[in-house]
Amino acid sequence: MAAEVTEIVSRMDRLYEYDREPVAESKLQSGGRFAGLFAGEHVAATEFVIGAFFVLHGVRAADLFLGLLLGNALAVLSWTFICAPIAVRTRLTLYWYLRPILGSGLTAAYNVLNALLFCVLAGAMISVSSTAVCSVAGLATPAPTDVWPASLSWVLVTFAIGVLFTLLAILGFEGLSRFASVCSPWLFVIFVAGAVGVMPRLGVQPDFRNFWQVAETRIWNGVPSPGQEPFGLWHIVFFAWFANLAMHIGLSDLALFRYARSWKYGLWSACGMYPGHMLAWICSGIMMAAINREVNPGLMAYACAGLAGAIAVMIAGWTTANPTLYRAGLALQSVTHNTARWKVTAAAGLATAAIACFPVVFLKLLDYVAIYGLTLMPVGAIAFAEHWILPRLGAEPEPARRRGWLVNPLALAVWAGTLLFCYWLPLHLFFKWLPGYLAATVAYCGLRLLERRTKA
Amino acid sequence: MTRLLPAAGLASLLAGLATPFLHWHGVLSENQFKQALLVCSLAWFVLAPLWLVRRQRQP
């Protein structure tokens, strides 16, 4: 078993060989480049669903605007004060930063778990794209409470789109990624155009003077749709904060910020948060209200922005799913024996396409985003404790490397214990991660100090 | 050409952004707005990749 894990780890190491060394000074990037990266990355297919769901959950207009302002500010501050400083000091990706802390075996497990969670997210994107095709073709789409596939046509269209996305991810990831970069500004235009285009339908005057009145009575009126739990200010604040939890608090974006000249570059994340996670969510909420709260992102965009809107949903789904499938294939390749990457990506893509046929993956997207961040958050807490707290308490750095651990048992215990603690915590799913993060940090520091005392 | 392509691409995006406002102010009907948005979108997808390819070819 240990030999097998060692073999898997060495294959994963070869895969990430190119970023083993800290980034050289000459490779550091300008702030403008970070602004562009964030702006491009955070206007995606998920935005068509998230903003629309806030309307279904009966958020009030004032709570939405204030919640998004505050929650996105907290996300920007998390990138600036938690992720970017560690990235700038270490200049390493999370994979290489975690290795001497978690041990190579646990780091590999983290990587594979991340890939699997990403596959489900890609599945949701395929479902969203499928709603666009079904809406244009006049085929049935799932109802808001559906868990299982409701019709054969839905399954056939969704699976075909999944196969198409998988083929594209296998055939030309890099070229297509370059093409995807031209989609972001256009997607943003479609969000704004769709929302502004339905203003006359909602009764908003061209001089904008009655917008707030319409917003409070017809869009975010505080009345949840049947079967949806009501959301308030703090649901919005926390959702906007943890929407990218794995990236900032979870430290995945070390990969990005290791190219930053200063930790202050974390502030550039605002260029992604406010257009993508505020304006685009508001726009999709407005579009949702204009189609009488029907849960169908494809129909919503088609009805509000015409064929360009339906194409936008399709392209947004693909641009989000494409790198996700590619990364999942890359991570899973290392745990398979000498299997070509295209075969692994194909297998991961087909499994993702099958997952996408279950409408629950996009109809419960808000909960899934919360679970995704929550699952990986304890590792971020461990890395934070190792970087900032334990050196000040006199603990030796890089415990797994020093002791030759394949799996750091303390980290594994804290990771599993935190997830159990969060599971039992009597709080709404959206609020569980913060006490969980604090508990993980304290528990890991405690265990490390206890272990040092026992050893002494 | 190297300056024309980005300028034309940007113009197509801005024109796309302008169409819903024209509809809101009653200048375009809903159908005209949607068609104009589609045309601007197609223009962007022709111009932007061309610009991208040319920029990559530059030394």
Domain coordinates in residue numbering, chain A? 2-366
Secondary-structure percent of chain A, ordered helix, strand, coil, rounded to 5: 75, 0, 25
DSSP alpha helices (H): ranges in A291-408? 297-333, 341-356, 360-363, 365-384, 399-403
Torsion angle of alpha carbons A14, A16, A170, A124, nearest 10°? 130
Asked if residue A306 lies in contact with residue A73, where contact means CB atoms within 8 angstroms, the answer is no
- What does the radius of gyration of chain B's CA atoms come to, in whole angstroms? 14
Chain B residues with beta carbon closer than 8 angstroms to that of A279: none
Q: Decide if A189 and B35 are in contact by the 8 Å CB cutoff.
A: no
Chain B residues with beta carbon closer than 8 angstroms to that of A200: 23-24
Q: Nearest 5°: phi and psi at A44?
A: -130, -175
DSSP alpha helices (H): ranges in A172-261? 173-197, 199-202, 211-214, 233-242, 254-257
Q: Nearest 5°: phi and psi at A221?
A: -95, 5
pLDDT of residue B48: 87
B4 — pLDDT class (breaks 50, 70, 90) = confident
Q: Decide if A196 and B48 are in contact by the 8 Å CB cutoff.
A: no
- Which residue in A176, A182, A214, A307 has the most chain B C-beta atoms within 10 A of its own C-beta, making it the best mutation to test that interface? A182
pLDDT tens track for B15-48: 999 999 999 999 999 999 999 999 999 999 999 8
pLDDT of residue B59: 60
pLDDT of residue A11: 66
Ramachandran sector of residue A93 (left: φ over 0; alpha: ψ -120 to 50; beta: rest): beta
Chain B residues with beta carbon closer than 8 angstroms to that of A182: 44-45, 48-49, 52
Closest residue in B to A201 (Cα) is: B24
Distances (CA, A) of A388 to A381, A383, B13: 11, 9, 45
Q: What is the mean pLDDT of each run of 10 residues along chain A (456 residues)?
A: 68 60 80 84 87 95 97 97 95 88 92 88 91 90 84 94 89 67 89 96 92 96 92 97 93 89 95 94 96 90 95 89 80 72 87 92 91 95 96 91 93 97 96 97 96 77
pLDDT of residue A71: 98
- DSSP for A410-434, please give it: HHHHHHHHHHHHHHHSSS-GGGSHH
**Residue type for position A176:** L
Complex prediction ipTM: 0.94
Q: Decide if B21 and A189 are in contact by the 8 Å CB cutoff.
A: no
A83: tokens are 């992720």
pLDDT tens track for A70-93: 999 999 999 999 999 999 999 888
Q: What is the CATH number of domain A2-366?
A: 1.10.4160.10
